[in-house]
A and B are shown apart, each in its own frame.
Chain A
Amino acid sequence: ETGVTQSPTHLIKTRGQQVTLRCSSQSGHNTVSWYQQALGQGPQFIFQYYREEENGRGNFPPRFSGLQFPNYSSELNVNALELDDSALYLCASSATGGSGRWNEQFFGPGTRLTVL
């Protein structure tokens, strides 16, 4: 267990709906990254939040948005769901080093989203 938790575990939504996924980072970590993993593929980077601000974004449309809270937990929001959004959504927490170096990322168990 990494200490990173995600909720819910599974979710079924209909095309066009909106969804919010949640992630609690490991104690002492100030950075959360979100990844989308389609079936049979490797995870793809969505975006990263560091100290409550977006700090890097992958090739995902604006309907994918996020938040990070003062306790460093995070949300991923997806609007206007499409069938291709069906995937495992993983969050990972990490902590910067004193020199600004980025450390190992610890992954949560993921949220499996199915869009019908």
Chain B
Amino acid sequence: SQQGEEDPQALSIQEGENATMNCSYKTSINNLQWYRQNSGRGLVHLILIRSNEREKHSGRLRVTLDTSKKSSSLLITASRAADTASYFCATEGFTGGGNKLTFGTGTQLKVEL
């Protein structure tokens, strides 16, 4: 089963605009990660934020985490056509064995020229 939901399911913006995607999850976590997937191919790791962190930056990416609301957001600034992809949040909770990732349902981002 999915851990949670991404919102919106789909987002279409113009190049240069900012894109914000939200993720909600259900259980306690060790960390939350965001991944990008192009055209149903492999997942590319974007950024990891730990449960004791509230905000993290990486290049044009900004991630926030609110553990009290069990939610996270991913902001992509100054978007480019190459950012067109599906974006997934994934939570990692230590279950006594390994680092199972539980993914959300994804947001499809389309950046138009």
Q: Hey, which chain B residues are within 8 Å of A107, CB to CB?
A: 35, 42-45
Contact between chains at B88 and A48 (CB < 8 Å): no
A110-B99 contact in complex given A41-B105, A42-B2, C-beta closer than 8 Å: no
- 8 A–B contact pairs at CB < 8 A? A41-B2, A42-B2, A43-B43, A43-B101, A44-B103, A56-B98, A90-B42, A105-B101
Smallest CB separation, A113 vs chain B (Å): 13
B-side residues, CB < 8 A to A, are 1-2, 33, 35, 40-45, 48, 88, 90, 92, 95, 97-106
Asked whether A25 is an interface residue with its Cβ less than 8 Å from the other chain, the reply is no
Q: Hey, which chain B residues are within 8 Å of A99, CB to CB?
A: none
Contact between chains at B99 and A94 (CB < 8 Å): yes
In chain A, what residue has the closest Cβ to B106? A42
Smallest CB separation, B68 vs chain A (Å): 24
Contact between chains at A33 and B98 (CB < 8 Å): yes
Indicate which residue in B33, B42, B45, B98 contacts A31 across the interface (CB closer than 8 Å).
B98
Indicate which residue in A33, A88, A90, A110 contacts B100 across the interface (CB closer than 8 Å).
A33
Asked whether A18 is an interface residue with its Cβ less than 8 Å from the other chain, the reply is no
Q: Hey, which chain A residues are within 8 Å of B95, CB to CB?
A: 56
Interface positions, chain A 31-61, Cβ under 8 Å from B, are 31, 33, 35, 37, 39, 41-45, 48, 50, 55-56, 58-59
Q: Hey, which chain B residues are within 8 Å of A43, CB to CB?
A: 43, 88, 90, 101, 103
Indicate which residue in A37, A55, A109 contacts B97 across the interface (CB closer than 8 Å).
A55
Interface positions, chain A 69-113, Cβ under 8 Å from B, are 88, 90, 92, 94, 102-110, 112
Indicate which residue in B40, B92, B97, B103 contacts A42 across the interface (CB closer than 8 Å).
B103
Complex Cα spacing A88 to B43, Å: 11
Known: A50-B98, A106-B45, A110-B40. 13 other contacts (CB 8 A): A35-B101, A41-B105, A42-B2, A43-B103, A45-B100, A45-B101, A48-B100, A55-B98, A56-B97, A88-B40, A102-B98, A103-B99, A112-B40
Contact between chains at A102 and B88 (CB < 8 Å): no
Smallest CB separation, A78 vs chain B (Å): 19
Asked whether A2 is an interface residue with its Cβ less than 8 Å from the other chain, the reply is yes
Complex Cα spacing A34 to B37, Å: 16
